[in-house]
Structure 1
Amino acid sequence: MPLFFQPARSSRHRIACLALYKVLLRTVSLVPLPSQADDPSLYIPPVKPTKPTQPPLQAIIRNAFRRNSHDVSPRLITSALKNGYKSLSLLSAAADPTSKEYSQILEFLRENKKRVVSLRERKEHLLDLLPNNKPIPGTVPVLVKVSKEDEPPRYIPNPARPSPRPIEQIPNGIRKPPRLDAAGTVPFLRMQKPQSRVIERIVRLKNKKRAENTISLTELHREDDERRIMAEWEDEWDGHLRALLPRGRAGGGGGYVNELDQVVRYLGEELNKEREDMIARAEAMLEIEKAEEEQMIKEDKERVEKGEMTEREVYEMRRSWRRRKKGQEAGRFYHEEERKRRGLPVSKRRYLEGVKRGRFREGDDRREVDDRREVEGDDRREVEGGVEFENRKR
């Protein structure tokens, strides 16, 4: 609901506030504060070293009036004016250095400096926590670009980052090869789960930028786009004006439609270059994945040959690792082969529909089965740890 009385448009209100502001500044000059050299705890250092240090009381008054200049609520304005007149009485009494009001002002200035300094430190700390595009010190890039500027993009695994990694650099001695993945159209190597927040942010920003360019390119290609229609009108108007000028004085220029076409060509070229670059990155990442996968298979064979583990133990180790990657509870036995072996539908959605209709029991897909036996009839019984349960044939 709009206000019928707006204080900023009232001359009486503005004159009253301006008079209070001037008398406060005039009274502040009568308070004998110690100099900055005598008592530096009263003075707040400026944000920029090039700026001079402001008198503390004058700065507080100016900031208070600047902060309350946009208030329109009568309640807030009345409270601010009352505080201003109370401060005027306090400053008038603080002109005497022996009064208790003078001591209160000194104590307030010291506490105010501590508060301002703590707020600045917190703000700097929050700025340091903001994500940025600067390279993280101490990190080695995974890929290195070897192609020149006028050549198609080509990347290779960074020689400074050995691939595959030596087994000594792996903490638990179990190699977990990275997997080539893509979010939208941006390829990346999934090194761990949960995924690194740095990679997540990079992929999100790249997808967002590419989506914006694609949408702009699609809209500018349309003949009914508002910007293209207005550009055609502007070119038509310029043509009429050039026809009115004397011969030989007509101005040049490519026209607004021509500029739009240049933007369309530029966006198309940038999207194509980005696509070729992502393909080249994906090929180099795939080399890293294949090298790690081959090394993993080689190490597993060596474990079996040396007698450290059996083939079944190696299989269980890899299966348990992949299960943990997908979560301890959710998605444990949702692979296609495991579902087929259990007589369950491959699709998770169809399995849930079967649970609702009574064809399956909830939790059947999460039970491990080692021993099986065939039972005559249409039903099949599966035994696990001495517990029997029955699945009806589909």
Structure 2
Amino acid sequence: MPRFLQPKKSTQHRVAAIALYRALLSRCSSAPLPDDDRVSLRNAIRNKFRRNRKIQSPYQLGLSFKAGYQTLDHLDASATGDATSTSILTRLVSQLPCALTRILPIKPRRETPPDPLKERLARLPPEKAVLNVRPYAQTSGPRHVPILASANGIPFLRLTKPQPPALSQVLHQRLERKTELFDTMVLLDNWWLPICQQEDKWDVLMNEQLKKREDTVRWTDAVRLSQSENREAYEKDLKKDRQITRKMQRIVDMETELALKEGQTIVRGRRRHPIRVIKPES
């Protein structure tokens, strides 16, 4: 284990400690000891592991593991009828301090109240929505020109960093809907449509064998209807995104024009390595 890594954060150390802890507790149940001694030994194991959980010294850890494995050997030997190991365990339990063998009181679980809804997660009223209030005619400080960005084809205005949680929530919902429409389209085209086509062929064969009149309703009709509805919903979302993109681009252009009139220099990209620098006309 590297010296810079704390033992409690090492996977190997945690696995070894938890395995030893569980083995000691399981052996206590089958140890040929009186009930009081068995309970005292179990409590001592729990309290000792709880006290030593923050030890970082390799020397102290080595002593703790050595004592634990020796106790485990005596528990295994006593379970097989070894009188020497049983007497050692009995003498060990009698020498344990009372503070180590007592049962720790169970702390009541603190019920944390649910976090109140943050203001940034609440949806803004229509009169304060970004697309309805921008561009600002006047600002109290430097004008921050928004950036038109896209998240997997979903347009949005990047106003500040870090990104507000409300905007992340909206983008997540829009992406979920977009993914759901695409998955539905793939499922209809590659799964349900071939199955329904085979069902229609089977119905034709059965009608020919039974000399029945062919049914006008087909299995594929429902799939075709679902495909049409899915396509309409997808195209409706695309049309809405195009309209929002035009509106956002108009806001960016107007904000840029106002910022240049106010004598500001607009930097796109990082300040040290800008992609584009727009300076006001002198």
What TM-score comes out, normalization by structure 2 length?
A: 0.50
Q: Which structure would you say has the larger RCO, counting Cα contacts within 8 Å and 6 or more residues apart?
A: 2
Structure ranking higher in helix proportion: 2
Please, what TM-score do these two structures have when normalized by structure 1? 0.37
